[in-house]
Structure 1
């Protein structure tokens, strides 16, 4: 992986426009069924985000490129599933990955609409849940109501760790970098993680309460 990332980082650091395009494509391809399970999209995004503290890339454009790619990737997969319905799950190349397809279906049935949210943070089913949501006839309004907020959290959760790690490295060794970026990003990271954890706990408790209510004998 290092032999692949090192020349990529060196190249895109000298060509900012291509760096943003690479981020966009990495996020988009990561959302494509089957392809997303082999493309190291998250690793590429994390690696390129490390160029932000040195001023090679701008944080806002990195976040925008990653989020836009994810929205288009998830949306394309969803609409393909929505149009083809369940038969798409038994068609090549998905038919060659029955275990992951089954896991994505089970994940969807277990969490319902919120599966679209949680799948954004769980590889490799991240690349299969959007098309599964479409194949199982999830309404578009429900899909996007959960998918877009998930991506808006997913992007900073993937980008900020690389930015913070390099920013901390620069601070420790006295390497000049752009402003006091790290201090502000720590706050954003904590908020993003807190939101993800809060939603996860809320969904878990809600489901547990539902199970308990169903288990109670009726009078």
Structure 2
């Protein structure tokens, strides 16, 4: 894995457009059932985000590529499940992963709508929950209402650590860094905190409305 990442970073440093394509594909494939359990998408995104402080990549371009790939991957999986209903859960290749599918369905049954949000941060079931949500009949509007903020929070959580770590390294080591990066980091940090706060508020509101414990059943 280390040699692969080193080769990838060297390649995209010379050809930045390949980096944005790699970020898009990493986020897309990580959201595809089965494939998401095999592709180290999160590792690739974290590694490539480290190129932002030096100016090789643009922060907003990195975020846009990761967000677009994740939204397309989750959306494709959801619609596949929505159109096929429960039949898809027993079809190839999902039937070859009964344990993960059982965990995904149990996770969805436990958290209901919020499973779509939380699953984004729980590998490997994050690649299976969207198709499960579609197969179990979640309305598209409800799915995207939770999935979009989940993907935004997920992208920030994967990109910002690499950017901040390398920015700090550049600062203390006296290395050159992109002057505009730091100006946007605090805005993204506030945005990420707002999304997390919204998720916590939604969970508490759900519990207050239903009078259920977090694991008592779906919404």
Asked if these proteins are the same fold (TM beyond 0.5), I'd say yes
Higher alpha-carbon deviation: 60-69 or 178-187: 178-187
Q: 2:212 corresponds to which residue?
A: 211
Q: Give the C-alpha shift of residue 188 in structure 1.
A: 2.4
Structure 1: gaps of 5 or more residues: none
Q: 1:33 corresponds to which residue?
A: 33
Q: How does 1:1-219 map to 2 (within 5 A)?
A: 1-179=1-179, 181-182=181-182, 184-186=184-186, 188-189=188-189, 191-193=191-193, 195-196=195-196, 199-200=199-200, 202-203=202-203, 206-207=206-207, 210-211=211-212
Q: TM-score, normalised by structure 2?
A: 0.90
Does structure 2 conserve the Cα–Cα contact (< 8 Å) formed by 1:164 and 1:186? no
Does structure 1 conserve the Cα–Cα contact (< 8 Å) formed by 2:149 and 2:195? no
Q: Give the C-alpha shift of residue 194 in structure 1.
A: 5.5
- Structure 1 stretches of 4+ with a deviation exceeding 3 A read none
Distance 1:202 1:130 in 2: 19
Distance 1:191 1:145 in 2: 17
Higher alpha-carbon deviation: 147-156 or 182-191: 182-191
Q: Give the C-alpha shift of residue 182 in structure 1.
A: 3.3
Q: Give the C-alpha shift of residue 184 in structure 1.
A: 4.0
Does structure 1 conserve the Cα–Cα contact (< 8 Å) formed by 2:49 and 2:160? yes
Does structure 2 conserve the Cα–Cα contact (< 8 Å) formed by 1:157 and 1:193? no
SS at match of 2:43: helix
Q: Give the C-alpha shift of residue 178 in structure 1.
A: 1.0
RMSD: 1.9
Q: Give the C-alpha shift of residue 134 in structure 1.
A: 0.6
Does structure 1 conserve the Cα–Cα contact (< 8 Å) formed by 2:53 and 2:178? yes
Larger of the two Rg values belongs to structure: 1
Structure 2: gaps of 5 or more residues: none
Aligned residues: 213
Per-residue Cα deviation, 1:190-217 (whole angstroms, up to 9, x for no partner) = 54145325523651574377137xx9xx
Does structure 1 conserve the Cα–Cα contact (< 8 Å) formed by 2:5 and 2:47? yes
Q: TM-score, normalised by structure 1?
A: 0.90
Does structure 2 conserve the Cα–Cα contact (< 8 Å) formed by 1:157 and 1:189? no
Higher alpha-carbon deviation: 123-132 or 180-189: 180-189
Q: Give the C-alpha shift of residue 179 in structure 1.
A: 1.1
Per-residue Cα deviation, 1:52-110 (whole angstroms, up to 9, x for no partner) = 11111111111111000001100000011111111111111111111111111111111
